[in-house]
C-alpha cells in the first residue's frame, strides 16, 4: 500500500508530466501547422528548413512520453517510475538539443528543463519513500 507522501508525490509528478504533455502537443501542433510567428532564421545552421520535423518530434516523442507517463502515474501502474524517468530524460535531451541548435529563445526552455529535473528528482525520491523491511520483520517462521 502506498503512503500518503508517496501518492502525493506520484500525483505531483503526474501533474507536471501532464502540463508538459499539453504544452508539447500545443507547440508541436503549432509547429507542424507552420509556426507563422516564429522566425525561420532560428533554424539557420540546423538540418531543418522549417519547423515541421522538430514539431513532429516534440508532439510525438516529448508529448507522447509525457502523456503516457502522466497516465501511468495517475493510475498507479507498476511501471510508472520507469516511464517517468524516461519522460524526464526525454525533456532534458529535447531542451539540450534545442538550445544547442537554436540557442536560448524562450522562457519555456528553462521551464521545461526544470520540469524534466523535477520529474526525475520526484520519481527518484518516491522510490525512497517505501518502507524498508528486514528479513526479521517479514519472516514469520521465526515466531
Residues contacting 99, CB < 8 A, separation 6+: 109
Provide the whole-model pTM. 0.85
Domain residue spans of the chain: 26-130
What local confidence, expressed as pLDDT, does residue 134 receive? 53
Grid cell of 98 as nine digits: 534545442
What local confidence, expressed as pLDDT, does residue 93 receive? 99
CA dihedral sign of residues 92, 95, 98, 99: negative
Identify whether the C-beta of residue 115 lies closer than 8 Å to the C-beta of residue 94: no
Per-residue pLDDT tens, the chain, 143 aa: give them: 557 788 999 999 999 999 999 999 999 999 999 999 999 999 999 999 999 999 999 999 999 999 999 999 999 988 999 999 999 999 999 999 999 999 999 999 999 999 999 999 999 988 654 545 555 545 544 44
Amino acid at each position: 500500500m502506498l503512503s500518503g507522501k508517496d501518492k502525493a508525490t506520484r500525483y505531483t509528478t503526474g501533474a507536471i508530466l501532464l502540463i508538459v504533455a499539453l504544452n508539447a502537443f500545443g507547440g508541436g501542433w503549432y509547429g507542424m501547422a507552420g509556426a507563422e510567428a516564429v522566425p525561420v532564421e532560428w533554424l539557420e545552421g540546423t538540418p531543418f528548413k522549417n519547423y515541421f520535423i522538430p514539431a513532429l518530434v516534440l508532439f510525438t516523442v516529448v508529448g507522447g512520453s509525457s502523456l503516457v507517463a502522466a497516465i501511468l502515474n495517475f493510475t498507479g501502474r507498476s511501471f510508472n517510475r520507469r516511464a517517468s524517468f524516461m519522460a524526464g530524460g526525454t525533456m532534458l535531451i529535447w531542451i539540450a538539443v534545442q538550445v544547442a541548435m537554436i540557442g536560448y529563445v524562450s522562457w519555456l526552455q528553462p521551464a521545461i528543463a526544470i520540469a524534466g529535473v523535477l520529474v526525475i528528482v520526484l520519481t527518484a525520491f518516491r522510490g525512497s519513500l517505501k518502507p524498508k523491511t528486514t528479513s526479521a520483520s517479514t519472516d514469520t517462521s521465526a515466531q
